[in-house]
Chain A
């Protein structure tokens, strides 16, 4: 099992550009989520999904879109990048999303917006 994989590892964008951060898991988990982590801060939930075709907003959803067409993949789209979106982005998955489930995190994508 590869677990949770994320691509790219690093990305530099200019203000206004769009891009998609990729996340995939091979554990057949129903629940997937995206977090951002700013320097010296904790993780903040952006969007989450409880299964294919179902997504919902987290704490900080503005400026980001998600979709979940398959169980395995949960891409995060930045529509028009802004310097405030400079952060490290982590994708995570768990079996069903319940509070007793262990979340498995990917290695992160470090994004810089100039």
Chain B
């Protein structure tokens, strides 16, 4: 199973850029990398997904090096409302991606 490793927690201040790196050494050729965000007392929600190089949307950017063994979620100019847990996921290609593995995630705390 393709598992991921992320920092347990990070602190930041409002207005700063935050980069959260995820390691996934066993990523399979057909796997995509997906990031979710979870606020307290809510279910996770999709942020961004990518396969290689760089992906950007209105919320974040995702940087993936050529070897795809890691990825970095970049949140530009964070605000207090970005305080949440961020999960990096890699689909399990052995079962067609059905057995999604959530790690412990990274708890981001944004301070004023």
Contact = CB atoms under 8 A, between A and B. Distances in A.
Given A42-B102, A43-B102, A102-B49, A97 B43 contact: no
Interface residues of A, number: 28
Interface residues of B, number: 27
Given A33-B100, A105-B44, A107-B43, A99 B93 contact: yes
B42 A107 contact: yes
Contact of B43 (A99, A100, A108): A108
Contacts of A31: 98
Contacts, number: 70
Interface string A34-76: 0100000111110010100000101100000000000000000
B99 A48 contact: yes
B87 A42 contact: yes
A42 B44 CA distance: 10
Contact of B30 (A42, A59, A99, A105): A99
B46 A99 contact: no
Contacts of A108: 41-43
Given A92-B43, A108-B41, A98 B97 contact: yes
Interface of A: 4, 31, 33, 35, 41-45, 48, 50, 56, 58-59, 90, 92, 97-108
Interface of B: 30-32, 34, 36, 41-46, 49, 87, 90-93, 96-105
